[in-house]
Every structure is written in structure tokens, then in C-alpha cells.
Amino acid sequence: MFDNLSDRLEATFTKLSGQATINEVNIGIAMRDIKRALISADVNYKVVKKFVEEVRAKSLGEGVVKSVSPAQMIVKIVNDELVELMGGEHKPLDLNGSRIPAVVMVAGLQGSGKTTFCAKLARRLKKNGRHPLLVAADVYRPAAVEQLKTLGGQVDVPVYAIDEQDALKVALEGVEEARKTARDVVIVDTAGRLQVDEAMMVEAETLKEKLGPDEILFVVDAMIGQEAVNTAKIFNERLDFDGVVLTKLDGDARGGAALSIKQVVDKPIKFMSVGEKPDDLDLFYPDRMAQRILGMGDIVSFVEKAQETLDLEKTQEMQSRLLKNEFDLNDFYDQLQQLKKMGSIQGLVEMVPGLNKMIPKQDLEGLDFGPIEAIICSMTKDEKHRPEIINGSRRQRIARGSGTSVQDVNMLLKQFKEMKKMMGSVTRMTKSGRKIMPQN
């Protein structure tokens, strides 16, 4: 799922990763690429247009954190917009009304995965301590009734089915049955047709009116892309449903339905079905889905932290000092303080484009800030500014003052020297426009 979209977005970010700043030109190119990627993922054109406009405005706007690379910033902005596009927060099923049993009505076209979903939902509710009853109100297809009975058996939830052609009667009796048998949720599987037709819509409207369901869920097959969105629109106009269930996301759905439906019908996607088995049902979380599409969770959370904690002015000042080769141990110390706020040295590495390729990850893991801080704090102002003056006796004094050994002091000075050298070369490389990939 979403493979092609993910690949194309990643290619866009890669193109940006050699750029030192965000500007109208590189953003223009990136937006064109993102637009094409979304359209080829079968996302609704209007939705794409709005999406790209938002990303462009945010990329050139004020919220941009200068201390992260343009590619990282765009990943974060695209991520946030994807989350927004899919509805922001997860919207749970709301069965907390006062009426018992609560009623969930499930609607959708035949073949969408409606009946399978009813059983999966029953299983999920049962696991959560509810006592569901499945009601077979898809009265026109005997096979559908049989299927629900089989699936009910698999998930160990009773199924109410009677030989009756009136769907409303079945549903109302089902609710009555639930009352009598102390079932607290009724899941009504309604009739589906291969295409939207008037008789089906009228029946669904009547069921809605007479049953007064707590939740109406519309089930739609994500594989049909734009068509899913059109069908959702028609059902929503008639039923004003509460939420969408996207099915078959385990297949090679291109993503269009997941990315367009919320914007077009303004109803949240509540569940996603990812297979045929009873457990293949997940709650739909827009943020998790966005990260799945981008596959760049690390960068997203890093930029988030940077936005929350980094002192922008200081970082910018430091970067310009780095460029002028004025970066000293005072800066290094400041940098450490910021990193400590962010909780990871990986952050520093990601902040400087290209550095992540040069420092092996294992060198960073488990690095202890404590002694480094103590050593720097035991230096004089002059020593911090010009570490080259730190001779043998000064090293001994610093080691004593910081409760470390001369070897530790030597090590830090050596590391600082190497880091400075490396940062200098990275900065020169970045300036000369060489392509450097951010690591995800």
C-alpha cells in the first residue's frame, strides 16, 4: 500500500536535501513533484491543489525552523498536512449514549467488505468488554446472511437472522432480541448493491430513521480509489453517516481514497481493514498513516523537538560562527545544553546536513554528556575560546577540577578538533551544493 506514493515523495525530499535554504525556486519544484505524486496516487484533484498550496505557504512562512535542513523541514510540513488531510486526531466510535443496546448501522456497496467488517467490529467490541449482537439485515442475499452467521461463529458472537424480507423488521427485532438477551451493542449489517441504487438508499434512510443508530458507518473499498470517494459522497448526502471504514488497505491501494475522503465528505475515517481475517481491523490514526506513507518518523519527531526546544537565534549564530571557523568550546557547550533539552546527540548530527553519514551511529549511542560538561566547565574563558593553548599542566588542572582524568581531557580535545574539522568540511560541501541525503 502507498508504495509508489512513498517512493515519489522520498525522491522529492532527496532532491531538496542538497539545498542549503528553502526558496521560491526549490519549493516550486518540490511542490510540482508532490502534486504529481499525489495525482498519480489517485488523490482527488481539488484536494491535491489545496494540499500543495498549504505546504507551499507553510514552507515559505514563518514557522520554518532554520536550524534544520530544508529537506527535513519539508518532510515535517508534508507530514503535518497529510495528518490534517486525513482528519487530524483519531475519532473513536461513540457508543456511550444512554440507550442500551447501542446500535451501529453498517452500510456500503456489495463487495466492499461490509459483512466482514461487522464481524471484525463485533470481535473488537467483545474484546473491549462489550456484548455485541450481529443482525443480518441484508435480506436480499441469502448468501450474505449465511456469511454473517459463519463469521459470527468464528468470532464467537451471536447472530440474529430470520426468514424475513423486510430489513427494518429484522433490524427492530434484532434490537429487541439484544434487549432480551442482555446484549449491549447491536451491529446491523444492511443490504448492499453492486452500484448505488435508489431502493437501497431509501431502505437505508428508513433504517436510519426508525432505528436511530448511535453510529452509522460507511464501508468502502480503498482499492477503487476515486470511485470510493464518489460513492462516499452519495451515501453521505442521503445518510449523513458518522464515520468511514476503509477496507482492503492490505492490497495495492494507491492511497487516493484514504487521502481524499475526509476532505470531500468531511467525515472521519474511523477504522481500516487490512485483511480478511477477524483480527485484521485497526483503528485509523491519521498521524500513524502519514508516517507510514512518508516512512520518515525519525525526521518528523526530530523537527518537532527542534521546533519545541531549540533556541533559534543561538543556533543560527552558531552556524554562522561555524562558517567563519569561529566555533569554540563555548559553542560546543551551548550546543550540548540544547541537545540535552532534546535528549539526543543524534539531534546534533541530524541538524548538520551530511554529518549523519560521517559519524557512525554506534559512536553516538550511550555517549555520556556528564564528564564532557564537567571538563568544559573547568576550563578558563580563554581556554574555551582557544583550546590550542591547553598544554600539559592545564590539562592536569582541568582533569582535577572536573573529577576526570587527563586521558578524558585529551579525548575531548581530540574529539572537538575532529568535529570542528568535519563540520567545516560539511559546511563547505553543503555550500557547494553537493547532494547530501538526510538519514531517516
For residue 128, the SS3 value is coil
Whether residue 401 is annotated as binding a ligand: the answer is no
For residue 257 the three cell numbers come to 481514497
Strands 269-273, 281-283: pairing is antiparallel
- Minimum Å gap between C-beta 235 and ligand GDP is 13
Q: Answer whether the bond into residue 70 is a cis peptide, omega within 30°.
A: no
Q: What DSSP string runs through 373-406?
A: HHHHHTS-HHHHH-GGG--HHHHHHHHHHHT--H
Whether residue 250 is annotated as binding a ligand: the answer is yes
Question: CA torsion 178→284→35→84, rounded to 10°?
Answer: 100
For residue 139 the three cell numbers come to 435480506
For residue 151 the three cell numbers come to 463469521
Whether residue 256 is annotated as binding a ligand: the answer is no
Whether residue 382 is annotated as binding a ligand: the answer is no
- Minimum Å gap between C-beta 249 and ligand GDP is 6
Positions in the binding site for ligand GDP (CB under 6 A): 108, 110-116, 147, 192, 247-248, 250-251, 273-276, 280
Whether residue 129 is annotated as binding a ligand: the answer is no
- Minimum Å gap between C-beta 286 and ligand GDP is 19
- Minimum Å gap between C-beta 137 and ligand GDP is 12
For residue 143 the three cell numbers come to 448468501
For residue 274, the SS3 value is coil
Nearest to 125 by CA among 243, 283, 249: 283
Strands 215-221, 185-190: pairing is unpaired
Which DSSP state fits 107? E
Nearer to ligand GDP, 91 or 248 (CB): 248
Give the residue ranges of DSSP H helices in 222-285. Answer: 226-239, 256-265
CA atoms within 13 A on the CB side of 268: 18
Whether residue 243 is annotated as binding a ligand: the answer is no
Nearer to ligand GDP, 58 or 248 (CB): 248
If phi > 0 it is left, if psi is from -120 to 50 it is alpha, else beta; for residue 360 that is: beta
Nearest to 51 by CA among 81, 24, 30, 25: 81
Phi, psi of 379 (to 5 degrees): -90, 155
Nearest to 353 by CA among 322, 330, 332, 327: 322
- Minimum Å gap between C-beta 375 and ligand GDP is 58
Nearer to ligand GDP, 112 or 338 (CB): 112
Whether residue 116 is annotated as binding a ligand: the answer is no
Nearer to ligand GDP, 158 or 278 (CB): 278
Whether residue 21 is annotated as binding a ligand: the answer is no
Nearer to ligand GDP, 22 or 151 (CB): 151
Nearer to ligand GDP, 24 or 276 (CB): 276
Whether residue 115 is annotated as binding a ligand: the answer is yes
- Minimum Å gap between C-beta 337 and ligand GDP is 49
The CA-based diameter of the chain, rounded to the nearest angstrom, is 98
Whether residue 125 is annotated as binding a ligand: the answer is no
Nearer to ligand GDP, 138 or 408 (CB): 138
- Minimum Å gap between C-beta 299 and ligand GDP is 30
The C-alpha atoms of residue 331 and residue 422 are separated, in whole angstroms, by: 15
Nearer to ligand GDP, 275 or 401 (CB): 275
Residue pair 82/6 in contact (Cβ under 8 Å)? The answer is no
- Minimum Å gap between C-beta 101 and ligand GDP is 22
Nearer to ligand GDP, 147 or 335 (CB): 147
- Minimum Å gap between C-beta 314 and ligand GDP is 50
Whether residue 28 is annotated as binding a ligand: the answer is no
Annotated binding site for GTP: 108-115, 189-193, 247-250
